[in-house]
Amino acid sequence: MLKKVWRVVRCLLVLFFVSSIGAVVLYKFVPVTYTPLMFIRCMQQWMDDKPVKMEHKWVSRDNISPHLPMAVIASEDNLFAEHCGFDFEQIEKAIEEHRKGKPLRGASTISQQTAKNVFLWPSSDWVRKGLEVYFTLLIELLWDKERIMEVYLNSIEMAPGIYGAEAVAKAHFGTDAKSLNRTQCALIAASLPNPLKFDSAHPSNYMNKRKQQILRLMRLVKPFSFNERK
């Protein structure tokens, strides 16, 4: 019996590793049209008797404003171009702050957020966290930074029912992702910690203050350009 159980477990593990690696390789070349989060949000909207909304359109890196990757790097992950998927300094700082009684804050990099958005589900359980580490290592190994950023900007939730740069540009600013200016990109980045709460189309006082901080940081962080890194 134990041999049979082990055989089944072994087959499931092999299937998981083969399918997960295959999915990461596939998404290195193929647009990410849908993510688990999109369907989860649709189900949540339906269960709450709200209109089901899912606006998303993939665009290539050439059709995304060069200000947007700089804005999200300034806001979310200053060392994106340099780290291997994890910012251990920020993780240590978050743990130390929590030990001193402060609320535990997120220290996820853009790579980690991309892994979570594309392959996993939104939660804080240890299973999801462990899988996030695994998929982050995979995309850092099999994708380059340009592809990680391209997928991130196309797949991340940017407002209720709105996913990716093109969808939020049209819905909130009446333009396309390529035409977003610095201020609009900074507002989008300011909303990313909680896009269900923060509205880049109608920014609060906090959002406007955060926007100004991001605009200042954009001048200081290491430049990241899709065109320059080809």
Q: What is the pTM of this model?
A: 0.90
Q: What are the pLDDT digits (tens) for 37-93? A: 999 999 999 999 999 999 999 999 999 999 999 999 999 999 998 888 887 777 677
Check if the beta carbon of residue 177 is closer than 8 Å to that of residue 68: yes
Q: Which amino acid is at 165?
A: A
User: CB of 190 within 8 A of CB of 230?
Assistant: no
209-219 tens-digit pLDDT = 999 999 999 99
Residue 72: CA count within 13 A, CB half-sphere: 29
Place of tokens 């939660």: 123
In angstroms, the Cα distances linking 105 to 186, 189, 197, 228 are: 21, 17, 17, 33
Domains in the chain with CATH codes: 59-218 (1.10.3810.10)
Residue 40 to residue 35: CA distance in whole angstroms: 9
Compute mean pLDDT per 10 residues along the chain, 230 residues long, and list them. Answer: 83 93 96 95 94 95 96 94 83 65 68 95 86 96 96 96 97 97 97 94 95 95 70
